[in-house]
């Protein structure tokens, strides 16, 4: 299937590692030029060089997405460097406190994750919209999470942030449809990688007195497909929602979780 992405410009937040790096590679493989936004520009360098080796142009911009002014300035600079913008993919985010109840979560912990996962996407969307409108339409893909669809004990702050992101996504989708801009959410479940292994599995292992590998197997057993998602699974979903194949999809949540949200 021809996805129609070659030659388009995609801005990606949080592109340096893990899921963000996988998303960056996937869009580069489709021939998209890339505006890469993150706090640590040196960390973005290796994945940018991979993308350039695939034949696409990149612009690396320092950006704290929680700062609206910084988001606008970085987005404007990236668009100026690459000549426009067609796609925004918001990957940047955090996990918040793990294993803490709502009662024991501090105000500072709650504020920090809401600021990053909700305000950060709000800021970059507002920065991108004028550029997408100038192209006559475009795509916004926000990376949420299935804890924002079912909730999760011990992850109240993170769940709240992802529920909030869903609300922003759906409202923007309704507001921007007439401009030809689609806005959707990809909702990963657990994604195998350093954060999953070193934070989630480690916390479960310590709490239950089991190995981290056993903790990973227990998480996988929660899913209909009996496997934990990979970065590539999430990246493929982002590419699809950004493509011409998804032109009639907006305001949607696409779980990439092996069936956990449906159970």
Instruction: Provide the CATH number for the domain around residue 96.
Output: 3.40.50.720
What pLDDT is attached to residue 190? 85
Give the count of domains, the chain: 2
What pLDDT is attached to residue 261? 85
Top-confidence residue, 244 or 263? 244
In a domain, 183, yes or no: yes
SS3 label, residue 25: helix
Asked whether 75 and 11 are in contact (CB, 8 A), the reply is yes
In a domain, 252, yes or no: no
d(CA 221, CA 210): 15
Q: In Å, how far are 99, 100, 203 from 206, measured between CA atoms?
A: 11, 14, 5
Query: What is the distance between the terminal CA atoms of the chain, rounded to a whole angstrom?
Result: 31
In a domain, 134, yes or no: yes
pTM as predicted: 0.92
**Same domain for 212 and 153:** no
In a domain, 263, yes or no: no
In a domain, 179, yes or no: yes
d(CA 55, CA 50): 9
- The model's pLDDT over 136-187, given as tens digits with 9 standing for 90+, comes to 999 999 999 988 888 778 788 888 999 999 999 999 999 999 999 999 999 9
**Same domain for 206 and 132:** no
**Same domain for 58 and 181:** yes
Dihedral angle sign, alpha carbons of residues 179, 82, 10, 74: negative
**Same domain for 156 and 60:** yes
- List the 253-256 sheet strands across, edge first: 58-62, 33-38, 9-13, 87-90, 138-143, 181-188, 253-256
**Same domain for 130 and 197:** no
**What percentage of the chain exceeds 90 in pLDDT?**
75
**Same domain for 82 and 143:** yes
With 80 as the cut, is the pLDDT of residue 105 above it? Answer: no
SS3 label, residue 196: helix
Q: Residue 242 sits in which domain range?
A: 9-189+230-247
What confidence tier does 212 reach under pLDDT thresholds 50, 70, 90? Answer: very high
Asked whether 130 and 76 are in contact (CB, 8 A), the reply is no
With 90 as the cut, is the pLDDT of residue 119 above it? Answer: yes
Residues near 248 by Cβ (< 8 Å), separated by ≥ 6?
Answer: none
Half-sphere exposure of 113 (CA within 13 A, CB side): 21
- The model's pLDDT over 74-83, given as tens digits with 9 standing for 90+, comes to 999 999 999 9
With 70 as the cut, is the pLDDT of residue 1 above it? Answer: no
The lowest-confidence range among 48-62, 104-118, 241-255 is 104-118
**Same domain for 211 and 109:** no
In a domain, 154, yes or no: yes
Q: Which residues are catalytic?
A: 158
């Amino acid at each position: 299937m021809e996805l129609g992405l070659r030659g388009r410009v995609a801005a990606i937040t949080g592109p340096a590692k893990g899921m963000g790096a996988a998303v960056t590679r996937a869009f580069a493989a489709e021939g998209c030029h890339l505006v890469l936004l993150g706090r640590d520009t040196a960390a973005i360098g290796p994945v940018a060089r991979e993308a350039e080796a695939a034949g696409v142009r990149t612009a690396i911009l320092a950006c704290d997405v929680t700062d609206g002014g910084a988001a606008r300035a970085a987005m404007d600079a990236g668009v100026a460097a690459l000549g426009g913008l067609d796609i925004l993919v918001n990957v940047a985010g955090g996990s918040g406190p793990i294993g803490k109840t709502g009662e024991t979560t501090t105000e500072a912990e709650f504020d920090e994750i809401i600021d990053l996962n909700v305000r950060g996407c709000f800021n970059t969307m507002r920065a991108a919209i004028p550029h997408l409108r100038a192209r006559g339409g475009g795509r916004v893909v926000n990376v949420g999470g299935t804890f924002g669809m079912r909730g999760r004990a011990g992850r109240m702050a993170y769940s709240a942030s992802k529920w909030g992101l869903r609300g922003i996504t759906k409202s923007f989708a309704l507001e921007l449809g007439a401009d030809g801009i689609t806005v959707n959410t990809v909702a990963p479940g657990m994604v195998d990688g350093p954060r999953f292994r070193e934070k989630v599995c480690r916390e479960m292992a310590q709490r239950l007195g089991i190995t981290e590998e056993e903790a990973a197997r227990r998480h996988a057993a929660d899913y209909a497909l009996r496997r934990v998602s990979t970065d590539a699974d999430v990246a493929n979903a982002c590419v699809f929602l950004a493509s011409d194949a998804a032109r009639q999809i907006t305001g949607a949540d696409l779980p990439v979780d092996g069936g956990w949200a449906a159970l």
